[in-house]
Each structure stands twice: as C-alpha cells, then as structure tokens.
C-alpha cells in the first residue's frame, strides 16, 4: 500500500493513506501517542534525558514568574540583548532570519526551542555551528534564550502563488494540523510553523525524508516520506504565510 498523499484521489482515500502511515509507524516503533507531563509531543519515539525534563520544569517556573514580574522580564530582555550578538548574524536581531536556509526564531514555542538547543548542545541534532554556540550556555541561560525569542514577533510572507497556496493548505490540513495546530502556532512542545521561512521548512522536510541523521524524529520522517516534492514545496509556502 502506498503512503503517498495524492490529491487526485478522494478525500477519504487521502486521509486513510496518511493515517495508515502514522499507525504503521506507531506500531513498529511502539510510540505512545499521549505525551507525558512536560514532554513535548515532538519527542514521540525519542526518550527524554533527565536534564531535558529538569530544564522544562525550570522553563515553566521562569515563565510563570515572567508573567507576574516585570523584573524577570527585564532580566530576560537584558540577557537576550547581551548574549545573542552571534545569533543575530543568522537569525536577525528581531528573530527573523537574515540568511537562506536559517529558521526564524521569533515567536517560536519556548518548550520546543529549549528542546532544540539541548539537542544541538549534546549532539542529538547535528550542526557544527549551532553545537558550538549552544554549548556556551548554561541551563538557566538556555531557558532565558528560549523565552527571549518566544516573545518576538514573526513576520509572515505574502501569498505568491494562490494555486500553490491552496495545494499547501490541503497538505497541511491533512498531514500537519493535528500536531502543529490549525493556525500553525503549535502547542505543548510542537514547533511553531506559522511565518516560518519557506526555504527552511523545505530544507527540514527534505532532511526528515532523506534520513540523513541531521534530524532524528521518526514521527516527522514518516509524515515527510508521505509527501512528494510538489507537496513539500506547497506546504512550505503555505505555512510561511500564516500569522
């Protein structure tokens, strides 16, 4: 049975193919579809380290304080302005990336962002530059870094090709919305895709699909593998326009 999403088929057939792919993955890898407390659903099939859980608890504590304390908010802003000078070269001073193939960090889900910083620093996600930078932050600084970028405003793209946008929305609604939300903002640890750069989304989906080892998430690899090149390009263009 093919797991490709083919838009010429009926709606029920498309959904069946997508769900079949996910159910096969869950069964073969024994993935628990229900995330545990403080565990990001993006970690499906990937065991969390103790330091990840501890850091997420710390994130929750600081986030609650920040919502009630202007002093904590000021501390996060000051830290961000002082410690993101190198980050700004690629990701921009406002969290909107300047370079091709680099993600926007503005408005990103802080739990997801913290998780990715950990993965860069301990080698679970591979990138030489990011690994070097991530390792310079201690746990408290990683938490504040995630919060700093989460408070920034992402800039969405304008619709360039209405026909491609419509095709991308169809792909997104079937394959992505359940986890990343109807508006693309993600919740409970999922990545925010709304306003993300199309070239970066395209790059990541290709990495998941090709099993290069640079991104290790069996759930995302299964979804990406169910899409063809046109569908990947379409969904990447679509999410870049969401607010």
Kindly report the number of other CB atoms within 10 A of residue 42's CB atom: 22
Provide mean pLDDT across the span 172-190.
Answer: 90
Are 129 and 162 in a shared domain? no
How much of the chain, in percent, has pLDDT values that exceed 90?
Answer: 53
- Torsion, Cα 117 119 121 124, to 10 degrees, reads -160
Please list, in sequence order, all residues whose beta carbon lies within 8 angstroms of the beta carbon of residue 237, skipping any fewer than 6 positions away.
157, 160, 161, 164, 165, 168, 198
Torsion over CA: 230, 231, 234, 240 (sign) = negative
Q: How many domains does the chain have?
A: 2
pTM: 0.76
Burial-class residue 229 by CB neighbours within 10 Å (0-12, 13-18, 19+): exposed
pLDDT digits over 97-125, tens only? 999 999 999 999 988 898 899 889 988 88
Are 170 and 210 in a shared domain? yes
Residue where a domain terminates, one of 150, 179, 197: 150
pLDDT of residue 167 exceeding 70, the answer is yes
Question: CATH number, domain at 215?
Answer: 1.10.760.10
pLDDT band of residue 154 (cuts 50, 70, 90) is very high
CB 118 within 8 A of CB 142: yes
Q: What is the pLDDT of residue 60?
A: 74
CB 219 within 8 A of CB 31: yes
Query: Does residue 21 sit within a domain?
Result: no
Among the ranges 43-52, 68-77, 82-91, which has the highest mean pLDDT value?
82-91
- Torsion, Cα 39 41 46 51, to 10 degrees, reads -20
pLDDT band of residue 58 (cuts 50, 70, 90) is confident
> Where is average pLDDT lowest: 35-44, 73-82, 99-108, 160-169?
35-44
> Where is average pLDDT lowest: 22-36, 72-86, 114-128?
22-36
pLDDT of residue 173 exceeding 70, the answer is yes
CB 95 within 8 A of CB 154: yes
Coil, helix or strand at residue 155: coil
Write out the residue range of the structural domain in which residue 225 sits. Answer: 156-239
Query: Does residue 139 sit within a domain?
Result: yes
pLDDT of residue 25 exceeding 70, the answer is no
Q: What is the pLDDT of residue 49?
A: 67
Averaged confidence pLDDT in the chain = 80
Provide mean pLDDT across the span 203-231.
Answer: 89
d(CA 157, CA 159): 7
pLDDT band of residue 174 (cuts 50, 70, 90) is very high
d(CA 109, CA 89): 21
Are 134 and 226 in a shared domain? no
Are 229 and 162 in a shared domain? yes
How much of the chain, in percent, has pLDDT values that exceed 70?
Answer: 79
Query: Does residue 56 sit within a domain?
Result: yes
pLDDT of residue 37 exceeding 80, the answer is no
Are 189 and 140 in a shared domain? no
Q: What is the pLDDT of residue 140?
A: 84
């Amino acid at each position: 049975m093919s797991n490709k999403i083919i838009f010429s088929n009926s709606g029920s057939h498309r959904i069946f193919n997508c769900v079949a792919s996910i159910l096969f993955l869950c069964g073969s890898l024994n993935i628990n579809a229900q995330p545990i407390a403080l565990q990001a659903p993006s970690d499906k099939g990937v065991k969390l380290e103790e330091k990840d859980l501890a850091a997420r608890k710390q994130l929750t504590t600081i986030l609650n304080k920040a919502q009630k304390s202007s002093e904590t908010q000021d501390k996060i802003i000051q830290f961000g302005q002082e410690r993101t000078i190198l980050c700004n070269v690629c990701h921009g001073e406002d969290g909107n990336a300047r370079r091709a193939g680099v993600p926007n960090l503005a408005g990103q889900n802080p739990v997801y962002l913290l998780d990715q910083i950990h993965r860069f620093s301990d080698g679970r996600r591979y990138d030489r530059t990011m690994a070097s930078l991530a390792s310079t932050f201690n746990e408290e600084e990683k938490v504040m870094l995630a919060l700093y970028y989460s408070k920034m405003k992402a800039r969405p793209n304008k619709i360039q090709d209405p026909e491609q946008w419509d095709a991308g929305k169809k792909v997104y609604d079937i394959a992505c919305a359940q986890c990343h939300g109807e508006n693309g903002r993600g919740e409970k640890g999922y990545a925010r895709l709304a306003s993300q750069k199309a070239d970066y989304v395209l790059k990541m989906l290709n990495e998941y699909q090709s099993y290069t080892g640079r991104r290790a998430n069996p759930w995302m690899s299964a979804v990406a593998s169910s899409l063809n090149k046109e569908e990947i390009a379409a969904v990447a263009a679509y999410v870049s326009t969401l607010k």
